[in-house]
Amino acid sequence: MSEDVRRLAAGGRIDRDQALDFVFDGRALRGFAGDTLASALLANGVDVVGRSFKYGRPRGIVGHGAEEPNAIVEVGTGASCVPNLRATQVELYDGLEARSTGSSVFQRAVGAFGRLLPAGFYYKTFMSSPRAWMAWERLLRHAAGFGRAPDAADPDTYDRMNHHCDVLVVGAGPAGLSAALEAAGWGARVLLADEQSEFGGSLLAETRTLGGDGAAAWLDATLAELDASANVELLPRSTVSGYYDHNFLTIVERRSDHLGPVAVAGTRERLHRVRAEQVVLATGAIERPLVFANNDLPGVMLASSVSTYVNRYAVAPGKSLLLFTTNDHGYRTALDWHRIGREVVAIVDARENPAGGWVAAAKDSGIEVIARHAITEAVGRSRVSGAAIAPLQRNALVGASRRLACDLVACSGGWNPTLHLGSQTGVKPRWSKSAAAFLPGDLGEGTLCAGAVAGTPTLRGCLEQGALAGATAASRAGFGSGRTTRAAPEVDEPSEAPTGSLFLVPHPKRVSRAPRQFVDFQLDVTAADIELAAREGYESVEHVKRYTALGFGTDQGKLGNVNGVAILADVLGKDIAEVGTTMYRPSYTPATFGAIAARDVGGFFDAERHTPMHDWHTDHGAEWEDVGRWKRPWYYPQSGETMQQAVNRECLAARDGVAIVDASTLGKIDIQGADAAEFLDRVYTTGFRKLGIGRCRYGLMLHEDGTIFDDGVTARLAESRYLMHTTTGNAEVVFAWLERWHQTEWPDLKVYFTSVTDHWATAALVGPKSRTVLAKVCTDIDLSGEAFPFMVVREGRVAGVPARVFRISFSGELSFEVNVPAQHGRSVWDALIDAGAEFDIMPYGTETMHVLRAEKGFIIVGQDTDGSMTPADMGMDWAVRRNKPFGFLGDRSLDLADHVREDRPQLVGLASGDGKTVLPEGGQLVDDPERPPPVPFAGHVTSSYYSARLSRPIALGMVKGGAKRMGETVYCPLADGRVLKASIVDSVFYDPKEERQRV
Amino acid sequence: MFRIRCPYCRELRSEEEFSYAGEAHIPRPEDPSSLSDAEWGEYLHTRTNPRGPHREMWVHTAGCRRYFNVLRDTLSYEILAVYLVGEMPPEREEAR
């Protein structure tokens, strides 16, 4: 069929002067400005737009909006390609490239043996055993889904905007526009969002008059008024995608998708985050298809879609129309078709005695109306060529069928309100027998529904209800009296008779034998599948959904769900109300990752924290380790060095000479107040009351269940002032922990906490020569061992800057941790490096820090512990004082029966059996590697390194009952089949008498 | 996403500023050492987990950093009351 036949010579909202070239599946085609990809494809006679998901059947365009299940396309190429778009919602632009999805070779092949795929096929076949699934998975992963993800980073920018408005109106059809007019008239701040390129909704394809004028004239005047209102913001091309708690909604605005594959300037999409006082849902309704045999043939469409293509896009998707309806509204499509001079074969109406105004109009136009009949089966190969109709009484066949020739079947089974957003809030839709539809449930004080979404059938009714909803919403938000201020325009519309209920058209053969009667087009779910699921014992609609995949597609069953629920209800012998419907979830239509992420990408998403000495580390070639948000030097490789060689060099410098490490990231909390000591006593395992001023003490912080969650050294700076150090990653957690106990349990204690982590820069000088180096830049503190012993803090000046110097050590060596105000961190670091130059001072990173502490058996909370270890498990009873007057958090739990078991995993040292191989961290330990599985678990390796100082590997691990197993052997089986041997040794490998750090 | 009125800042703010801090009104036992393992375990682990109004603690993490109590319906997510630590929730009628 050639283009001129499909495209009408006049009418529609397209611009015939602006031709647009585009490519679909490699074919060069032409459309006009104002077309969607779908209308342009129909105008070009493209009937088959893809293959179905499960059976590989040819599929054509069914709908004209968000509901489209078949025409799922991929638009653009390369990095800016977007998969999973509905052709009905893609605006045409010049040069657009699109491909159909869901037509893989696999799917075509599946189509050949489609008979073998009943409901639950996937479970029954692929999950028949775990082994079967492993084999199938690779093939299925390749074939599943719609389209391919782009293979390169998106070149476009996306952003996000927050709104606070009085009234958010969702949908700019007749009801939404009326609501916005009234709410804005009362002075409320109104946000009006609509997913289409043009505002107007159904009015864009309306042929009736409003207020005596064409619908387009009323629409233009209304939009002009809203546009001129300072308190109204209009968002076209904006899908309200999610409705969350407390009237929080998200809107995805497509800002440049209609102009080209890549945004020329500005952002491609924007996510609006809206907090609305009131929400008016005017989301309209989607026509319900009719379920009959072969109803998926290309050329079978929704009646409203046929009308929309004719009236809005000036496209006639066929020559001879057969209309199948259960309601008066559908007759309008036959009248539209008749008006453009095409053949209406007949109107097949399932009702007993159709008699409304549209029915009369159709008869007046000479159209044959065949009442009490149904289309039982569509006929054709890759396009419908006819249909079998048969007489119907009380939804049962009562006579022989006959065949009518046609190339287009328009269906109208009634209307399904677009209630997805309301359902997203968790409120279940309710079945209305009179409307023959699910309607939104009670959405509460903050939400109003207006128009077709509320089941209102007439245009006049939608206009009036919208206006009232707008006035009511404004009033609830504090604007006006709630009365409407203007009369709705007169609409010339006849009365309509009630909609008939027909959810599954009977076929001469029974459902399981009849040609497929499709309920969900996108996932190929048929009436027989639903019947089978019910017969196999599934009753809950949620279970049937998961068993048959009904409504599981990217369209969330916008077309099929209600028919599916009704068919299930019929099979189960229940009411539709009793069966209910499944819940809808955000997003209403698929949203891009770009819109969701917005500017939260790269460094904006994962912000880096840098210490004041960061640039120095960069300049000196540091490799980095991420610790929480911090960037910490990992090691500093010199030219040609491997990581191990660099770490060995750094370790030896710290043990034999002098080395320096940036410890600024350690959490620091300033604690002041008369009860500071009492408070510390309650949160740490150790005691702080009797700690002398200027002295430091190590402590473990426990959860109430007795497990270790942080450790660190706290110094007493003054009578009622302490400085607490936390681990780098836990600074915020510990700070919140202290606040929590103070505010909720012990508000009587006079104590205050201030996080000072970022206020200070810390450089730790480590090694036997550290005292000599520090003495060169610090002259006002006596650094001798007698005057400034281990675990003491002194204040003075370092390199001319006021400093706190701590004699604490995480390496087991003589060490001075120099703290200076952060702004001086870099200059003091430089001064220390200069002072140490003559002693070959070596900067070191976190890896060397870890090796040094492991040689000493010092634990790292979170590496050697995993949230289940008590102090006793870690051999740290020495750090627990059980006789404090108040006790401490977690104290009681240390006596729990389970915590005093002797076979709990306990910290031990592990010496490599061959003296050469480094055990893998995380390696599992067993007592007997020869034993057939299941092998009892003896423990695991928590830390493991090569020690340059000791010239052999060292490791720490947790071994069941390990404290009493010194000298015994355990085995570490590896994935490659090797089994490493290790002996259990003391966890302190170096300087067990702790002499070096005390000199 | 909730909106919570911080009783200290006296403003309706977005949930993103707050952190949940567990069930409220679980006082730490006065003398833990006098409790049996079972009694202590009750304090450590047993929570009410109701369907309906739930008394819970929240902290205004990205605001004043104060802890306070919230009475929240776990079904409708309606915030029925906000009150200070140490206080009891107001009668339901007052809360509305």
Contacts of A244 in chain B (CB under 8 A): 1
pLDDT at position A109 over 60: no
Residue A171: the pLDDT is 98
Which run of H or of E encompasses A239?
Answer: strand A238-244
**Cβ separation A892–B40 shorter than 8 A:** yes
Residue A805 domain-assigned (yes or no): yes
Q: Cα separations (Å) of A638 from A620, A621, A622?
A: 9, 8, 9
Site from B56, B65, B84 to mutate, A interface, most A CB atoms within 10 angstroms = B65
**Cβ separation B61–A736 shorter than 8 A:** yes
Residue A608 domain-assigned (yes or no): no
Residue A857: the pLDDT is 97
pLDDT at position A2 over 50: no
Nearest to B65 among A739, A744, A887 (CB): A739
Q: Determine the Cα–Cα distance for residues A521 and A528; give it in Å rounded to an integer.
A: 14
Q: Cα separations (Å) of A741 from A192, A203, A704, A723, A889?
A: 47, 61, 11, 18, 10
Residue A495: the pLDDT is 86
Comparing alpha-carbon positions, the chain A residue that sits nearest to B69 is: A744
Q: Is A407 on the interface with B (CB under 8 A)?
A: no
pLDDT at position A53 over 70: yes
Domain end: A413, A438, A468, which one?
Answer: A413
Q: Is B36 on the interface with A (CB under 8 A)?
A: no
Comparing alpha-carbon positions, the chain B residue that sits nearest to A446 is: B78
Q: Determine the Cα–Cα distance for residues A61 and A69; give it in Å rounded to an integer.
A: 8
Nearest to A246 among B3, B33, B61 (CB): B3
Output DSSP code: residue A267.
Answer: -
User: Looking at CA atoms only, how far is residue A543 from chain B in angstroms?
Assistant: 22
β-strand partners of A167: A190, A278
Q: Quick one: A80 and A167 in the same domain?
A: no
A659: amino acid identity, one letter: A
Residue A887 domain-assigned (yes or no): no
Residues whose CB is less than 8 angstroms from the CB of residue A514 and which lie 6 or more positions away in sequence, other chains included: A293, A377, A507, A508, A528
Q: Determine the Cα–Cα distance for residues A480 and A460; give it in Å rounded to an integer.
A: 24
Q: Determine the Cα–Cα distance for residues A14 and A627; give it in Å rounded to an integer.
A: 58
Q: Contact, A167 vs A470, CB < 8 A?
A: yes
Closest listed residue to residue A597, CA positions, set A268, A828, A320, A867? A268
**Cβ separation B44–A704 shorter than 8 A:** yes
**A737: domain CATH number?**
3.30.70.1400
User: Looking at CA atoms only, how far is residue A987 from chain B in angstroms?
Assistant: 32
Residue A501 domain-assigned (yes or no): no
Percent of chain A topping pLDDT 90: 89
Q: Determine the Cα–Cα distance for residues A428 and A442; give it in Å rounded to an integer.
A: 8
Contacts of B41 in chain A (CB under 8 A): 896
Comparing alpha-carbon positions, the chain A residue that sits nearest to B61 is: A736
Contacts of A441 in chain B (CB under 8 A): none
Closest listed residue to residue A154, CA positions, set A72, A241, A250, A267? A267
pLDDT digits (tens, 9 = 90+) for A431-489: 999 899 999 999 999 999 999 999 999 999 999 999 999 999 999 999 999 999 999 99
Q: Determine the Cα–Cα distance for residues A681 and A105; give it in Å rounded to an integer.
A: 70
Contacts of B3 in chain A (CB under 8 A): 246, 248, 275
pLDDT at position A111 over 80: no
**A258: domain CATH number?**
3.50.50.60
Contacts of A745 in chain B (CB under 8 A): 27-28
Domain end: A758, A781, A797, which one?
Answer: A758
pLDDT at position A112 over 60: no
Residue A790 domain-assigned (yes or no): yes
How does residue A694 score in pLDDT terms, banded at 50, 70 and 90? very high
Comparing alpha-carbon positions, the chain B residue that sits nearest to A895 is: B37
Q: Which domain holds residue A133?
A: 105-143
**Cβ separation A245–B1 shorter than 8 A:** yes
pLDDT at position A130 over 70: no
- Predicted-complex ipTM score: 0.96
User: What value, to the nearest 5°, has the Cα angle with vertex A989 and ends A966 and A901?
Assistant: 40
Q: Quick one: A96 and A111 in the same domain?
A: no
Q: Contact, A860 vs A840, CB < 8 A?
A: no
Q: Quick one: A188 and A332 in the same domain?
A: no
Q: Quick one: A530 and A568 in the same domain?
A: yes
User: Looking at CA atoms only, how far is residue A538 from chain B in angstroms?
Assistant: 27
Q: Determine the Cα–Cα distance for residues A648 and A953; give it in Å rounded to an integer.
A: 12
Percent of chain A topping pLDDT 70: 95
Could you tell me whether strands A190-193 and A158-170 are parallel, antiparallel, or unpaired per DSSP bridges? parallel
**Cβ separation A892–B57 shorter than 8 A:** no
Q: Determine the Cα–Cα distance for residues A568 and A575; give it in Å rounded to an integer.
A: 10
Residue B94: the pLDDT is 45
Q: Quick one: A185 and A321 in the same domain?
A: no
Q: Which CATH superfamily is domain B3-95 in?
A: Folate-binding superfamily (3.30.2270.10)
Entry pTM = 0.90
Closest listed residue to residue A617, CA positions, set A829, A417, A814? A829
Comparing alpha-carbon positions, the chain A residue that sits nearest to B36 is: A896
Q: Contact, A419 vs A251, CB < 8 A?
A: no
Mean per-residue pLDDT of chain A? 94
pLDDT digits (tens, 9 = 90+) for A864-878: 999 999 999 999 999
Residue A603: the pLDDT is 87
User: Looking at CA atoms only, how far is residue B50 from chain A in angstroms?
Assistant: 18
CA A654 to chain centre: 47
User: Looking at CA atoms only, how far is residue B61 from chain A in angstroms?
Assistant: 9
Residue A1: the pLDDT is 41
Q: Is A705 on the interface with B (CB under 8 A)?
A: yes
Comparing alpha-carbon positions, the chain B residue that sits nearest to A743 is: B67
Q: Quick one: A267 and A326 in the same domain?
A: no
Domain boundaries, chain B: 3-95
What b/e readout covers B55-76, taking b as 16+ CB neighbours within 10 angstroms?
A: bbbbbbbeeebbbbbbbbeeee
Q: Quick one: A84 and A42 in the same domain?
A: yes
**Cβ separation B59–A736 shorter than 8 A:** yes
Contacts of A739 in chain B (CB under 8 A): 59, 65, 67
- Which A residues 731-790 touch B at CB under 8 Å? 736, 739-740, 743-745, 747
**Cβ separation B67–A744 shorter than 8 A:** yes
**Cβ separation B2–A887 shorter than 8 A:** no
Helix A846-855 to helix A643-656 angle (10° resolution) is 60
Q: Determine the Cα–Cα distance for residues A653 and A660; give it in Å rounded to an integer.
A: 9
- What SS3 class is residue A260? coil
Q: Quick one: A210 and A61 in the same domain?
A: no
Q: Is B2 on the interface with A (CB under 8 A)?
A: yes
Which tokens is A997 given? 């750090």
The number of distinct structural domains making up chain A is 8
Q: Contact, A166 vs A180, CB < 8 A?
A: no
Q: What is the maximum span of chain A, computed from C-alpha positions, in angstroms? A: 115
Q: Cα separations (Å) of A327 from A338, A371, A374, A392, A814?
A: 18, 11, 13, 15, 91
Which tokens is A903 given? 């076979």
pLDDT digits (tens, 9 = 90+) for A360-397: 999 999 999 999 999 999 999 999 999 999 999 999 99
Residue A880 domain-assigned (yes or no): no
Q: Quick one: A60 and A189 in the same domain?
A: no
Contacts of A444 in chain B (CB under 8 A): 76
Residue A771 domain-assigned (yes or no): yes
Residue A787 domain-assigned (yes or no): yes
Which tokens is A547 given? 């068993």
pLDDT digits (tens, 9 = 90+) for A591-628: 999 999 999 998 899 899 999 999 999 999 999 999 99
A468: amino acid identity, one letter: L
Nearest to A892 among B3, B33, B59 (CB): B33
Interface contacts A/B by beta carbons within 8 Å: 55
Q: Is A162 on the interface with B (CB under 8 A)?
A: no
DSSP string for residues in A865-924: --S---TTTTT-GGG--TT-SS--TTTGGGGSGGGG-TTSEEEEEEEETTSSPPPPTT-E
Domain end: A535, A554, A579, which one?
Answer: A579
Site from A164, A734, A739, A744 to mutate, B interface, most B CB atoms within 10 angstroms = A744
Q: Contact, A102 vs A55, CB < 8 A?
A: no
- What SS3 class is residue A743? helix
Q: Quick one: A659 and A778 in the same domain?
A: yes
Q: Is B73 on the interface with A (CB under 8 A)?
A: no
Q: Is A78 on the interface with B (CB under 8 A)?
A: no
Q: Cα separations (Å) of A1 from A4, A6, A317, A407, A720?
A: 9, 8, 10, 12, 91
Q: Quick one: A201 and A131 in the same domain?
A: no
**Cβ separation B2–A245 shorter than 8 A:** yes
pLDDT digits (tens, 9 = 90+) for A327-344: 999 999 999 999 999 999
User: Looking at CA atoms only, how far is residue A273 from chain B in angstroms?
Assistant: 11
